[in-house]
Structure 1
Amino acid sequence: MIAVHVKDAIRSTMNLSDMVFRGYLGDLEDADLMRRPGKGCNHLAWQIGHLVVAEIMMLGGMFPEFKTELPEGFEEAHHKDKVDCDDASKFNTLAEYLELMTKVRANTLAALEAMDESKLDDPAPEQMRAFCPTVGDMMILIGTHPMMHAGQVVPVRRECGKPVMF
């Protein structure tokens, strides 16, 4: 019988989520990132940036030593008050987003690797406790957050004539 450790399950969840989300993005063009999956939805560039900023914020609240520094103006461009901005020059290229996602996730995985599993039971940062009571809950949220947005990429892919991925 194989014993699965909690950190291994969280890491596996993060890897699966990344694989799906990156799979959906992989063959899109930079211009496609400015498409919105439906009326009232945020365009893909904003969503990707939101994922990057949110992961940094969540991880930094628990492990500030693993915080990724963002390019100047990145966080502001992806703030919730900018969801209506359709100026592509205010956003990044797909390659830049993927590079940032890689750096941020590497820091998250490094934090996961460095922590003792008993830390997963510690209380989450105060502002997140109502939603995620423990550090373990927060790490699972970080791992699954891209999957929460993955479904919004699918309508854009279909509109662009891209193949079904999964």
Structure 2
Amino acid sequence: MKSELEIIVEDLQKISAYTNDTLDHVDDADWFRQPADGINHIAWQVGHIAIAQYGLCLKRVRGFSSDDDQLFPVSEYAKLFGKGSQPNPDPEVYPAPEAIRKSLKAIQQQVIEETSQLSQETLDEAIDPVHPMFSTKGEALRFAPKHEMLHVGQIAMLRRLFGHESLR
């Protein structure tokens, strides 16, 4: 029987692979397209996944590290893609699609690496402040792939709205 930690890491690995496979089928020309004003574009979705994974799996679990800005520009991503941010139709406001993907992959890799080394005691530790969806570090880590999948679904929907075939 797998441990809670093994299940969490496996889920993080699976959703990372699924996300990246989906993004392999997104044309760069579609990254900043919006089907209507105010609707998040693919660039926002991917940047949001990156900053959310950072917040859920790294910052909430072990706190901020001075090395985090080497993974990606944390404060810039929080402003552009964090909770409450609004999509801007001007691509010049954002990093290029390849830079956003690079940031996402760096976060995914770091999350899996650090999560793999956690103890059950760490998973059981309370998070302060408590979130409406979770109250422990383990619950935050279990929520992260669900949150990522929600946004990958939105990316898939945007692809379809832009006239592309379904991937699955």
TM-score range, shorter chain: 0.7 to 0.9
Deviation at residue 61 of structure 1 after TM alignment:
2.3
What's 1:109 paired with?
112
Count of residues in Structure 1 that have an aligned counterpart in Structure 2:
163
What's 1:122 paired with?
125
Question: Does the 8 Å contact 2:123/2:136 carry over to 1?
Answer: yes
Q: Distance in 1 between matches of 2:37 and 2:89?
A: 14
Q: 1:65 to 1:155 in 2, by over 3 A?
A: closer
What's 2:61 paired with?
62
The Cα offsets for residues 21-70 of structure 1, whole Å up to 9 and x where unpaired, read as 22221121222111235665311111211111122222212212666313
Within a 5 Å distance, the mapping from 1:118-157 to structure 2 comes to: 118-128=121-131, 130-157=132-159
1:96 aligned onto 2:95: no
Compute the TM-score of the two structures, normalised by the length of structure 1. Answer: 0.84
Q: Distance in 2 between matches of 1:84 and 1:33?
A: 12
The Cα offsets for residues 108-145 of structure 1, whole Å up to 9 and x where unpaired, read as 112212211222111123142x3201111100112222
Q: Distance in 2 between matches of 1:119 and 1:73?
A: 29
Q: Distance in 1 between matches of 2:137 and 2:40?
A: 29
Q: 1:77 to 1:39 in 2, by over 3 A?
A: closer
What's 1:46 paired with?
44
Unaligned runs of 5+ in 2: none
Q: Distance in 2 between matches of 1:90 and 1:55?
A: 22
Q: 1:38 to 1:136 in 2, by over 3 A?
A: farther
Unaligned runs of 5+ in 1: none
Q: Distance in 1 between matches of 2:128 and 2:29?
A: 37
What's 1:34 paired with?
32
Q: Distance in 1 between matches of 2:128 and 2:49?
A: 18
Identity %: 20
Over the aligned positions, Cα root-mean-square deviation in angstroms equals 2.3
- The structure with the largest strand share of the pair is 2
